[in-house]
């Protein structure tokens, strides 16, 4: 036991390129986009708040999202050994407990930056970090449920990042309409998160993770994901129309119809077409988010 601890202690410091790969920069875009939507929906200018804006971008992307990726890879190292053995931890490029150390360090850095940004952002960051750890780490391990896991990720990646953007600019709690819309887009993101599970059905089945493709079957899970993405957008359109944001509602309607037109191909072979839909349908989804934000911010009514 002592020899094992000693060998872990003397593991070499990981290379910078491997640490960056662990933090998965490609995953930072969705929360950073949602953060931008929050900034736009606030309806305020960035004059005098540039430092807060930069801090918010860093929090939603490299820091909190990066932390979630490091935490996930550490606690999923056995699953990744089956699904993605080339990842930094299962491949041995980040050896010993360095993956855990990086996750803890990035958590602390995130909290420090959030503390300097303001109380509402700090509160959102604490909640986001709690979700990041609870998603992957026992005893909660929200990701083991195909219902709870995607809901947690959708809430943090879309809703919480949007909330942070609006709170950074306003310095206060965002208006009710903004909270409703970010909540609806968070709900729709549950379907987006399910798309990521189609590629890992074999590994999830072998390790006991109850993703929707595992529990419902691939075909039913795809239909459920499509409905989950579409219905909240219908509610967003209704809210925008009720607030006389006609142009904004029209754009969201168009991008929703385009998504619906693409869904039959996804449903025909979810395991094959999920990456394609992530590149096309999800792009349309987040475009609608920005259109809704522009309406809420008074730029497009």
Tell me which of 235 and 171 has the higher pLDDT.
Answer: 235
CA distances 56 to 33, 102, 131, Å, are 12, 21, 18
**More reliable by pLDDT, 79 or 166:** 166
**Residue of 184 and 51 predicted with greater confidence:** 184
The CA distances from residue 111 to 35, 102, 117, in Å, are 17, 14, 10
With a cut of 90, say whether residue 290 has pLDDT above it.
Answer: yes
Q: What was the pLDDT predicted at 5?
A: 42
**Bridge partners, 210 (sequence order):** 145
Question: What band does 4 get if pLDDT is binned at 50, 70 and 90?
Answer: very low
237-253, pLDDT tens digit by residue? 999 999 999 999 999 99
Quick check: 235 pLDDT over 80?
A: yes
Model pTM? 0.88
Q: What is the mean pLDDT of residues 151-161?
A: 92
The residue-averaged pLDDT of 54-79 equals 94
pLDDT computed for residue 207 by the predictor: 67
Average of per-residue pLDDT values in the chain: 91
Q: Confidence band (pLDDT; 50, 70, 90) for 3? A: very low
Tokens of 52: 């807060």
pLDDT score, position 197: 82
Question: Quick one: pLDDT at residue 218?
Answer: 87
* Per-residue pLDDT at 94 exceeds 60: yes
Better-predicted residue by pLDDT, 4 or 117: 117
Report the share of the chain in percent with pLDDT over 90: 73
Mean pLDDT value of segment 52-60: 93
Q: What confidence tier does 269 reach under pLDDT thresholds 50, 70, 90?
A: very high
- Whether the Cβ atoms of residue 38 and residue 166 lie closer than 8 Å to each other: yes
Average of per-residue pLDDT across 67-79: 93
Residues 162-210 have pLDDT tens digits of 999 999 998 889 999 999 999 999 999 999 989 888 877 777 777 677 8
Q: Are 198 and 278 in contact (CB under 8 A)?
A: no
CA torsion angle for 168, 171, 177, 182 (degrees, to 10)?
30
For range 269-289, the mean pLDDT: 94
């Amino acid at each position: 036991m002592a020899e094992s601890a000693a060998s872990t202690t003397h593991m070499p410091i990981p290379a910078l390129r491997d640490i960056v790969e662990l933090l998965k920069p490609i995953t930072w875009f969705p929360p950073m986009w949602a953060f931008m939507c929050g900034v736009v929906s606030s309806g305020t200018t960035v004059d005098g708040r540039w430092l807060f804006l930069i801090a918010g971008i860093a929090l939603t992307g490299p820091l909190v999202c990066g932390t979630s990726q490091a935490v996930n890879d550490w606690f999923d190292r056995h699953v990744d050994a089956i699904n993605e053995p080339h990842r930094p931890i299962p491949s041995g490029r980040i050896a010993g407990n360095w993956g855990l150390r990086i996750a803890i360090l990035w958590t602390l850095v995130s909290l420090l930056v959030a503390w300097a940004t303001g109380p509402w952002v700090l509160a959102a960051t604490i909640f986001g970090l709690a979700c990041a750890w609870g998603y992957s780490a026992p005893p909660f391990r929200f990701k083991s449920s195909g219902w709870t896991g995607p809901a947690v990720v959708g809430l943090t990646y879309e809703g919480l990042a949007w909330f942070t953007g609006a709170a950074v600019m306003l310095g206060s709690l965002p208006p009710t309409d903004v909270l409703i819309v970010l909540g609806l887009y968070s709900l729709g993101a549950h379907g987006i998160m399910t798309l990521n599970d189609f590629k890992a059905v074999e590994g999830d089945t072998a390790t006991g993770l109850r993703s929707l493709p595992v529990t419902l079957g691939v075909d039913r899970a795809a239909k459920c994901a499509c409905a989950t993405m579409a219905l909240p957008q219908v509610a967003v359109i209704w809210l925008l129309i009720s607030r006389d944001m006609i142009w904004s509602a029209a754009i969201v309607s168009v991008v929703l119809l385009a998504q619906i037109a693409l869904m039959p191909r996804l449903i025909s072979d979810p395991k094959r077409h999920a990456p394609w839909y992530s590149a096309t349908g999800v792009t349309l989804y987040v475009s609608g988010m920005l259109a809704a934000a522009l309406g809420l911010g008074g730029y497009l009514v």
